[in-house]
Amino acid sequence: EIVAIASGKGGVGKSFLSSSLAMSLNAAGHKTLLVDADLGGANLHNFLGYKIPPMGIYNFLRAKNQLEDIITHTPVGVDFVAGSGDILGIAHITKVERSRFIEKLRQTPYSFVIMDLGAGTSFNTVDLFNLAEKKIVAMNSEPTAIENAYGFIKVALYRYLERFLSADHIFAEVNKKLRNRSASYPDVDLLIEDVAEVDEEVAGFIRGFVNDYKVGMVLNIVRFKKELNVFYGFETILKKYLSIVVEKLGFIPYDDRVSESVRLMQPFYNAYPESGTASCIHEIRDMMLAKLELN
């Protein structure tokens, strides 16, 4: 299964979560491949205590290397596919390249593939997020992070629905409105109403898609217990406006040793396996396996 980890903005600890979760899954006996899919801003290797590998996603997409050629065996036990952030144009891969990459990942002999996506709402990021079997959004309690996380999930859901509706030209006006920032749907019920006016049966399909669209949420860099209230407010907002299920997977406390570990290129998870932070990562792993099951 492919696990996509995204965030609405940078600086919320998404890469730390991705790398730590991959190491935790591997430690639990699940063979795991970690992929730096932050196209244009690749730096996940730093969280593995690893220098930039000689080959990455570019070599598979543009230089025609096989996927197995670009998989690196790291000292922390997790196999790794590096990004290619310093290659001109790599941030703008085509739909064909994206689909080919995902298909090849699904053919690998791993139990899980963790994809660390770039921050923001580019088409590539959102489409890779939607192609994953398990979807996780990382955020912290800062107002900007909360706002951007909501915006990301809304865009991802609307993009998912837009791609389905674009198969039939009779929904052209609905899709035009979806792409119009000033006139877009403030909540998903209004979208479904417009679809129902064109075709009630398709509106039923859309309701089913929305009901099945499940996202896991991880709150990172938690300093105070009261910050956990963000979980419940965020869950309420998503249910009210987007009608989707959000699974609270857990939180990661603030730990000043994390940034120090990255600076020293010593993976935190391996350096402090008995820490409270590592225990929280294990809990997130177990909650992901239990709650983000395939429908």
Q: What is the pLDDT of residue 264?
A: 86
- Would you say residue 223 has pLDDT above 60? yes
Write out pLDDT tens, residues 66-101: 999 999 998 888 999 988 655 555 667 788 888 899
- Would you say residue 2 has pLDDT above 90? yes
Maximum average pLDDT range among 48-62, 77-91, 235-249: 235-249
Which neighbouring-strand residues pair with 136? 5, 216
Reported pTM = 0.93
In 3D space, the residue among 186, 172, 174, 168 whose CA is nearest the CA of residue 243 turns out to be: 186
Q: What is the pLDDT of residue 292?
A: 85
In 3D space, the residue among 147, 185, 148 whose CA is nearest the CA of residue 165 turns out to be: 185
Mean confidence (pLDDT) of the chain: 90
pLDDT grade, residue 123 (50/70/90)?
confident
- Residue 178 CA, chain-centre distance (Å), reads 22
**Contact between 17 and 7 (Cβ < 8 Å):** no
Which neighbouring-strand residues pair with 214? 245
Write out pLDDT tens, residues 34-51: 999 987 777 898 898 887
Q: What is the pLDDT of residue 295?
A: 46
- Would you say residue 168 has pLDDT above 80? yes
Angstrom distance (rounded) from CA 161 to CA 191: 10
Angstrom distance (rounded) from CA 21 to CA 9: 20
